[in-house]
Amino acid sequence: MYYCHDCKTKFSAPAKIIEKHGLTSPPFETICVCPNCKSQNYEKEPTHYCHCCGIKLSNTKNKYCSSDCKYKATKLFRKEKDYKQQQLESPVYTAVRAVDSYNRSHNSKFSYGQFFATVGKKKKGAQKNG
């Protein structure tokens, strides 16, 4: 569906006008206009789909077509959120964050292996002695 801002009407397809500009042979200019007022000030209305299954929605206020889809989407969102939280708390991610933090603060470019081969040993030794 299209919506005309000038005459405030909805229409399914714009009308096409062929503008010849005084010429008798092609190429001609094709202009799409509102079929009611012949204005070019129209736009296609956005189509809304269910965020879970992708069915086209008639009500633009809803994000889901049914309560089942809403439940499935909420469950999936929670599962993804928990998975991301587990990733952030994993030992590997924590170690990589430590390397990145060290590289930023010391303006260095250590890789994961270089960091733990040089700096990581010093830090562990300092913690044991301290």
pLDDT, tens digit, 9 for 90 and up, residues 32-65:
999 999 999 999 888 888 988 988 888 778 889 8
Q: What is the dihedral of CA 33, 37, 43, 45, to 10 degrees?
A: -120
In the chain the first and final C-alpha atoms are separated, in Å, by 72
Query: How many domains would you assign to the chain?
Result: 2
Q: Identify whether 95 is part of a domain.
A: yes
pTM (two decimals) = 0.46
At 126, is the pLDDT very low, low, confident or very high (cuts 50, 70, 90)? low
CA distance 12 to 34: 10
Same domain, 77 and 30: no
On whether both 117 and 71 belong to a single domain, the answer is yes
Co-location of 74 and 40 in the same domain: no
Q: Confirm whether 130 is domain-assigned.
A: no
9 lies in some domain:
yes
Mean pLDDT score of the chain, rounded to an integer? Answer: 85
Does 107 fall in a domain? yes
Whether 86 has a pLDDT exceeding 50, the answer reads: yes
d(C-alpha 33, C-alpha 17), whole Å: 7
Which CA distances in Å does 32 have to 17, 20, 45, 65, 113?
A: 6, 14, 16, 34, 62
15 is in which domain, residue-wise?
2-44
Residues 107 and 75 in one domain: yes
